Amino acid sequence: MSASAQRQEIILNDNWAFRFSHQVQKHTQRVDLPHTWNGQDAQSGKADYKRGIGNYEKTLYIRPEWKGKRLFLRFDGVNSIANVFVNRKHIGEHRGGYAAFVFEITDQVEYGQKNSLLVRANNAEQLDVMPLVGDFNFYGGIYRDVHLLITEPTCISPLDHASPGVYLVQESVNRNQADVMVKVNLDNKTAAQDVELRVQVNDGAKLISRQTSHVSLASNAALQTQVPISIKKPRLWNGRKDPFMYQVTVELFKGGKLVDSVKQPLGLRYYHTDPDKGFFLNGEHIALKGVCRHQDRAEVGNALRPCHHEEDVALMLEMGVNAVRLAHYPQASYVYDLMDKYGIITWAEIPFVGPGGYADKGFVDQTSFRENGKLQLIELIRQHYNHPAICFWGMFNELKEVGDNPVEYVKELNALSKREDPTRPTTSASNQDGSLNFLTENIAWNRYDGWYGSTPRTLATFLDQTHKKHPQLRIGISEYGAGASIYHQQDSLKQPAPAGWWHPENWQTYYHMENWKIIADRPFVWGTFVWNMFDFGAAHRTEGDRPGINDKGLVTFDRKVRKDAFYFYKANWNKQEPTLYLAEKRCTLRTQPEQTIMAFTTAPEVELFVNNVSQGKQKTDGFATVIWKGVSLQEGENVIRVVTPGKHPLSDQVTVTYSRNPFIQ
């Protein structure tokens, strides 16, 4: 339990009884949250994995001393429809699997007694809940935390779409002054009264600003009040360079007594995208070197714990990532906290997802679907409004204009986003021509030049022609990637069939090397995002080294192995950490007598040794790569080693076997 002023919060993750809805004889099993029932069946390549209703029930003792207070249940994420019951009485439904939601249960519980809490989670296919389709798994269950929140009758409201009830609106920010409007939602369930609101800004223990406001609350009423604050010569949140944040504490007093308190981060920054020069943060150009991230991993599905998020972010930081697209849906609040903490520019989006290269559509033109999408957009913005890392709200991914045309609806979503948050620009991820590319303030494309046919050079042609034809368009790359299995090795470079069972790692490496050279040479591209940072589950896929996996990640699904392309980016993006990595170390059986040896490094020069014989030194090219061509191997085992010069040399090596006939050992 944690307490802040008179507010208490209790995590309700332990000891739930779980059964599927078809198990009517109540054969339950104990589970702890986070939990999903698809951690293994969806990841086994079973395309018709379980999609239906799972029942979660637990006993909740409501203390007698809580009578006279207010009780709220907060669910951080239930996929994808949740119906909640207290003592078998229905108290509410939430439709959408990736946002938090809150129900008040003050009048539904029995005080001083054990109460029944039942949640029916439904991940079945729906035509009026986003997303309709997607190249990822739709796990089921209560896969994020559940909280019991206890407040006084007058409180800072948690009921505004599960937001913190405090919005820090950065009305004007520059290096000389920051003007912020603090908007606070108050909720009163007693008689009319006067309250005092105090807003305090701190830099650690140092007080920066304190403002007080007196508010008159009507009986059983809710309102939003505003308190302006200004900071002279602010220290800015400056991405990876200096992700500094102030702390804002909003305190509510009644009769001189503190009755509620909420703390929020305040990262002051200003930024824009330029059609010719790209992204600028606090007046300084930054090349956004980003990745995309799905929220699942091997075995546990999307039922992730804090350590999983921390490991993912640590891998991003190691590689030198400074931007992330959290695809294709809102992710855990803790993930946004980590983005804030480490200064990673973030694209956050709603799950308005098209089918990619598969059947069906991502948009059905019916009122219930349109309203659900708007609700999910409001939830995304209000719940995560105060995160300084979030710089873009994403409206859609890979929609199609044939049939039910989503253009007018996307216009509505874009306008809704600007009403909810005028301070942040919108963007989208497209994969085709059409009107959809001109609706949001920024646009980005999902490009797979050199994987789904063609060659990397077509990416250069596309970018140059699009920029020339539409010079005012702010162009980004929202996805680019190629599949790779660490078990599929070849010592010659051959382009594979993407839908086949052979995904050689060296082709993914070549793909990323060539694509990044093109991207890095075009400053008008406002941001780029590798698809994907990690392999992820996609039950319908039958390719690579096993079914059920999208293997375009730079790191394996279990996070245990960094693929070669990871080290290419690390050497290019992370100049703070000395790197030397010998590529193709997993290709231990060589069939060609002459080999091309390649390494990625932050060093200016590298020397190659084969069986302790120097093959010469090579200068690093402009993309942290050194290559030796025509290197001869002897029959049998060969020790290949690369070394950097200097007092503190780096080295890397591998032992490979060369055989004229690899089938005779």
**What digits encode the pLDDT tens for the residues 294-352?**
999 998 999 999 999 999 999 999 999 999 999 999 999 999 999 999 999 999 999 99
Checking if the pLDDT of 235 tops 50, the result is yes
The pLDDT of residue 4 is 46
CA torsion angle 508 389 307 315 (round to 10): 30
**What digits encode the pLDDT tens for the residues 614-633?**
999 999 999 999 999 999 99
The two three-digit tokens of residue 665, written as one number = 């050992």
What's the average model confidence in pLDDT over 449-458? 94
The pLDDT of residue 2 is 40
The pLDDT of residue 528 is 98
Q: Are the beta carbons of 185 and 162 closer than 8 angstroms?
A: no
Of 4-8, 405-409, 466-470, give the lowest mean pLDDT range: 4-8
List, in order, residues 6 or more apart from 110 with CB less than 8 Å away: 62, 87
The pLDDT of residue 662 is 61
What's the average model confidence in pLDDT over 193-199? 96
How far apart (Å, rounded) are the C-alpha atoms in residues 57 and 116? 7
- Give the torsion sign (CA, 635, 636, 642, 648): negative
**Can you tell me which residue has the tokens 């999208």?**
550
**Can you tell me which residue has the tokens 């790197």?**
579
What percentage of the chain exceeds 70 in pLDDT? Answer: 99
For the whole model, what pTM was predicted? 0.96
- Catalytic one among 251, 398, 514, 543? 398
**What digits encode the pLDDT tens for the residues 391-446?**
999 999 999 999 999 999 999 999 999 999 999 999 999 999 999 999 999 999 99
What's the average model confidence in pLDDT over 560-581? 97
**What digits encode the pLDDT tens for the residues 477-515?**
999 999 999 999 999 999 999 999 999 999 999 999 999
Q: How confident is the model at residue 257 (pLDDT cuts 50, 70, 90)?
A: very high
The two three-digit tokens of residue 2, written as one number = 């944690």
Q: Is 398 annotated in the active site?
A: yes
